[in-house]
Amino acid sequence: MQDSSRMAAQLGQSLHALPPGLLPVPARAVQTRFLPAWHADHELTEAQHHILHGLRNSTSAAGAANRTNNVKLSKFRQFVANRTKNITLSKVGQFAESRTSKSDLQRGMAASQLAAILESVSPRVAADELARLGEERAATILALMHHKHAEGILSEMGAQLAERIRSEMSTTGALSKSQLKLRLLMYGSLASLGVGLLSIAMCLAIYRRSGHLGIGPLKLRQNGVFWNDHLLCCGPKIEHDYRNLERGTDDDPGGTVTLLKAADEDVSRAPKDLEQDEATQRLLGRRQMILVALFLAYVAVSVGSPLMKAGTASCQNGFFWEDHLPFAFVFFATKIAELLIYATDPTIPGELTLWAFSWKFFPSLLAYADGYIDATSIVIAHSCDSPEAQAIAFWMMVSYVIGVVICQWMVVACLSLRDPSHACLMKVIHMDALASCITLPEDKRWVWITVNMTRTFFEDIPQCLLQILFLLHVSRNYFMMFSVGMSLMSSVKAFIDAITRKLEAVGVEEKLESERLGRELVPAAASGDHEKVAELLKAGASTRMDYANSGGISPLMLAIAAKDQQVATLLRAAGAEEPVMTVTHDSIAMACADRDLADVVRHIAAGADVNTRLKRGEGVVGSSSGTLLHACCALHRRPGSYEVTVLLLRRRADASIGDGEGDTPLAHAKYHGATQLFELLEGNGAILAGPFYR
């Protein structure tokens, strides 16, 4: 064995003495890297003896040059078999021969291949090679190795260099290009899914509030899909075209009722302004608490998250995608809250179409992220080593503190809290679509302008300029490029919002006009005036209101009670919501006693006698008994009494029947001072009779 060792040592010395040009690539690899070490030790293992023997007799052992002094022959053969697919012998030889420079590595081998090669050599050799590659490249390769191999290599390096590389391994700078692409694909897909879900939630909120979704002539309503008000699918067949109606009585068993001008003027009166009662004040108080909580969460995550994850950021690759998840959670919570408030809050007067809402909602997604992106850009710039990057990061931080933290989150936010409409506070947290649906008080217009101008001139423009300098002089970071785009778009949008905002909520004028026409629709439906109903629907009359002015009695409810299929079809085609037709009182007399005129209509629809005899206290006043028409005259101040009277006349209620003393309904209308009902009854043939007027 000693003789073999001496022979191997002599062979090693001979090979070491040969000129590199006379050796094959694998032999040169052994000569330039491993043989000097063997010569110094003067002790060759059996594995080394077989390596040299193979190199002398055949070039088939080219991959053997990559094995260290302590690797056994069986493991070496297994290593060659496993590595041959990805790492050719020529590359191994080239790596060992030339002590590969950083440029060679970048040109010839992927990080995973280099990691595999360095795992096969001694930690000392691997440490020397990695030291030549630079800290960021070394961190990328070590991150791909097994933990024990990486720690062994780091232990062979200097303490300071090893610490810097360990720090770099915990940042995104250690990610390879393939890892970056995979993570971008995964988290990009999640972000796209989130935006898609927000789009669906937006459509549901608009449908919940307005009762339909429309894109041009195409409309999705509760009772089907319509094109130019013609049913396409998913609803009942429309038998009549409101643009070409011929008045008739086929579906109108009671004929029509003549409405007087005075009655039209009465039902078209605008509703009273919303009273700021105790319930409304509680609702507004809860809304403000929600907005303040969302604002504080936005501030905390925009500043706190980048600071907490600053150690993982790198100059080239920025943050890990998962580090943005806390911000994403607050982001989606804020936008879902915006949609819920729009869909359910009755104090919001404005209303937007699908296109108008989308135009304001989706840009606000980018504007919301702008403050957070600016904060992360500061951390990314600070992670760069160059003096230019550190100077840019300093001024970015100064601009952020002054323009965002002080001006926006302290000064402007406090001013916004004094806005009773909450429109300015909604703008601060980028609820642009919701803020546009709220009427802004005239004395708070300057706060609105201040919010937008502060954002433009103290945040967006300075941050955009500094980030452009970073891209030009430091690094072309993709996240920074995205931030520049966000700053530019956010700046333009804020400036436009400041100069184009009107005091009135968007769509409020159209909504009021639609509701006014909708109130006219109630008596028209009750009287069976098909042409009037069609005309009002074509003009945009609302079919989804609370109908408080008519006691909660909707046009479709009256059409059903009157058995008017033609009007009912028109109303359903216009998106009218199906009313609840289940009675809540045991009899129509009990409904009159409770003054529930909506339930009176339900009883009539269910087949109750329109000439039902009522007793005193069952709606009848001033007599021992009477009919439903007498009760309507006594209840003439109740909303809906006019519409119920029209319905009764249309269902052929007898206006000549007297009360307990013989007085007719017309006499009761005169007695109670029901001027409009008196004119309505008189215009439809009622007579004034009874002992009171005899």
pLDDT at 515: 80
Look at 158-172, 272-286, 358-372, 666-680 and tell me which has the smallest mean pLDDT: 158-172
pLDDT at 422: 92
Would you say 439 and 503 are in contact if contact means Cβ atoms under 8 Å apart?
A: yes
Residue 16 has pLDDT above 50, yes or no: no
Bridge partner residues of 620 (DSSP): 616
91-122 per-position pLDDT tens digit: 434 444 443 333 333 433 566 677 777 777 77
pLDDT at 55: 39
In DSSP notation, 61-115 reads GGGGGG--TT--HHHHHHHHHHHTTTS-HHHHHHHHHHT--HHHHHHH--HHHHH
Higher pLDDT, 630 or 241: 630
pLDDT at 334: 96
Computed over every residue of the chain, the mean pLDDT equals 75
Look at 18-32, 185-199, 364-378, 551-565 and tell me which has the smallest mean pLDDT: 18-32
Residue 337 has pLDDT above 90, yes or no: yes
Residue 332 has pLDDT above 70, yes or no: yes
pLDDT above 70 coverage of the chain, percent = 70
Cα–Cα–Cα angle for 586, 591, 594, nearest 5°?
A: 125
Sign of the four-CA dihedral 38, 39, 41, 44: positive
641-to-91, 148, 551, 635, 638 alpha-carbon distances in Å: 96, 88, 8, 6, 6
DSSP state of 587: S
**Element housing 545 (H / E):** none
607-617 per-position pLDDT tens digit: 899 999 998 88
CA dihedral of residues 521, 527, 531, 533 (deg, nearest 10): 20
Look at 94-108, 175-189, 479-493 and tell me which has the smallest mean pLDDT: 94-108
Cα separation, 137 vs 131, whole angstroms? 9
Cα separation, 616 vs 625, whole angstroms? 5
> In the structure, what pLDDT confidence band is assigned to residue 350 with cuts at 50, 70 and 90?
confident
Higher pLDDT, 395 or 133: 395
Higher pLDDT, 262 or 203: 203
Residue 19 has pLDDT above 50, yes or no: no
pLDDT at 353: 84
Residue 648 has pLDDT above 60, yes or no: yes
Residues 6+ apart with CB under 8 A from 225: 218, 219, 231, 232, 233, 234, 235
pLDDT at 602: 93
pLDDT at 123: 79
Taking Cα atoms as reference points, which of 425, 451, 396, 402 lies closest to residue 298?
425
Cα separation, 560 vs 520, whole angstroms? 18
Fold of 580-694: 1.25.40
Domain with CATH 1.25.40.20 in the chain: 580-694
Higher pLDDT, 215 or 165: 215
Mean pLDDT of 131-151: 69
pLDDT at 110: 60
Residue 367 has pLDDT above 50, yes or no: yes
391-425 per-position pLDDT tens digit: 999 999 999 999 999 999 999 999 999 898 899 99
Higher pLDDT, 170 or 131: 131
Mean pLDDT of 200-229: 77
pLDDT at 171: 57
Higher pLDDT, 286 or 113: 286
Residue 274 has pLDDT above 60, yes or no: no
Would you say 544 and 576 are in contact if contact means Cβ atoms under 8 Å apart?
A: yes
Residue 594 has pLDDT above 80, yes or no: yes
502-539 per-position pLDDT tens digit: 777 777 777 778 888 888 888 888 888 888 888 888 88
Look at 225-239, 396-410, 422-436, 583-597 and tell me which has the smallest mean pLDDT: 225-239
Mean pLDDT of 127-151: 70
Exposure letters 415-447 (e unless 16+ CB within 10 A, then b): bbbebebbbbbbbbbbbbbbbbbbbbeeebbeb
Q: Is 662 in a helix, a strand, or coil?
A: coil
